[in-house]
Amino acid sequence: MEATAIRPAPAVTSDPWLETARTLGPRFAERAAAFDEEDLFVADNFADLKAAGLISAAVPKELGGGGASHAEVAAVLQELARHCGSTALAFAMHTHQVAIAAWRWKHQKAPVEGLLKRVASERIVLLSSGGSDWLHGSGCATRVDGGYRIDARKVFVSGAPAGSLLMTSAVYADPDAGPTVLHFAVPMSAPGVTIVPTWRTLGMRGTGSHDVVLHDVFIADAGVSGRRPQGKWHPLFHIISMLAFPLVYAVYVGVAEAARDTAVRTATLRRIDDHLVYQIGSIENELTAARLALADMLAAAATDQPGYATTNRVMIGRALVARSVVRVAELTLETAGGASFYRSRGVERLFRDLQAARFHPLADGAQHDYAGRSALGLEVRT
């Protein structure tokens, strides 16, 4: 019997955005090894994403974008990840910022129309430091006439070399309200903004997730888009959890699918025994578990009900996806045997890229605490 790759049917079979991703994918796959080997940002792939209109796919049609749904964007990221994990992950960091702004424009009438129109017309790339900042924020905001002076060093800024706007935050020691996290956007071309090329890593080497230093950067009062108490769950973070993490973890499911296909292809070239069959069956189980968990994350996002319960559901899904895709990576390495140790086989890159699934919020300890407290009716801690 011929081995075939088992993949779920796309939610929308006629989705033009998914077809675009399938067209670009083989081109990205050809470049992936070189970007990884040389620690280079996937700049050529981002140029292709712009040319194909994917950069603005999640912008509502009313504002000049592609009008892709949250689930459609997730399918695009999952498909791209099968060909180049670094491209898909860096693109997810832009896309989730667009998706959040689009959701807030639709459901909260937030004043983000100008930003979304710029993404559509100028195809600017949005950068994020949210994962490394999370609830506590980082950096210092000092009050000055008309605004704030920002000093900060932001890490894990994926896509930094291609970025136009950094969507970030800093902590202001408010004399009345106490430590307050200010949210704002900084043009990457602004005086005092510097990219520090630190991204030499185990995996996802092509994401260009360098440090970005903000030194004495001025942010006017009008440029502060939000304020929140430091270290406290805030409605904004429930929106981020609901929308961003299904997109980010769609990437890891896509990489795991590529690993699964590699394992099956490799197995057909070996003498098939009971142990090898068992390993392939284990990979099928783990990949299916990851897909089911991702599907539930997307279903949670589709409720359009950000809050503690939805965040809990998404973060449980995030933990389950991470656990399963890391196990797929391990089993793929074992199935390929000693040959997997050669870089030319591509297995070790998939293995390394999947390790990054461990490191996005909420980390296992914090996620277990959140889920446990939710189940017991206790106050959720930061």
Q: Is it the case that residue 37 has pLDDT exceeding 80? A: yes
**Interatomic CA distance for residues 377 and 161, integer angstroms:** 45
pLDDT tens for each residue of 89-138: 999 999 999 999 999 999 999 999 999 999 999 999 999 987 778 999 99
Domains of the chain: 16-124 (1.10.540.10), 128-229 (2.40.110.10), 235-376 (1.20.140.10)
Give CA torsion, residues 307, 233, 154, 81, to 10 deg: -20
**Interatomic CA distance for residues 128 and 183, integer angstroms:** 11
Name which of 119, 54, 109, 123 is nearest 87 in CA terms.
Answer: 54
All residues at 6 or more sequence positions from 258 whose CB lies less than 8 Å from its CB, including other chains: 81, 82, 83, 85, 350
Q: What is the mean pLDDT of residues 214-226?
A: 97
Q: Is it the case that residue 345 has pLDDT exceeding 80? A: yes
pLDDT at site 14: 58
Q: Is it the case that residue 263 has pLDDT exceeding 70? A: yes
pLDDT tens for each residue of 300-340: 999 999 999 999 999 999 999 999 999 999 999 999 888 88
Task: Determine what percent of the chain is predicted with pLDDT higher than 70.
Answer: 96
**Interatomic CA distance for residues 307 and 241, integer angstroms:** 9
**pLDDT band at residue 12 using 50, 70 and 90 as cut-offs:** very low
Task: Provide the token pair at 299.
Answer: 């279903």
pLDDT at site 131: 74
Q: What is the mean pLDDT of residues 225-236?
A: 92
DSSP E strands: which ranges in 68-139? 126-128
Q: What is the mean pLDDT of residues 352-367?
A: 96
Q: What is the secondary structure of 296-360 as a DSSP string?
A: HHHHHHHTT--SHHHHHHHHHHHHHHHHHHHHHHHHHHHHHGGGGGSGGGSHHHHHHHHHGGGSS
339, 266 Cβ separation under 8 angstroms: yes
Task: Determine what percent of the chain is predicted with pLDDT higher than 90.
Answer: 88
**Interatomic CA distance for residues 84 and 81, integer angstroms:** 5
For residue 261, report the phi and psi dihedrals to the nearest 5 degrees. -65, -40
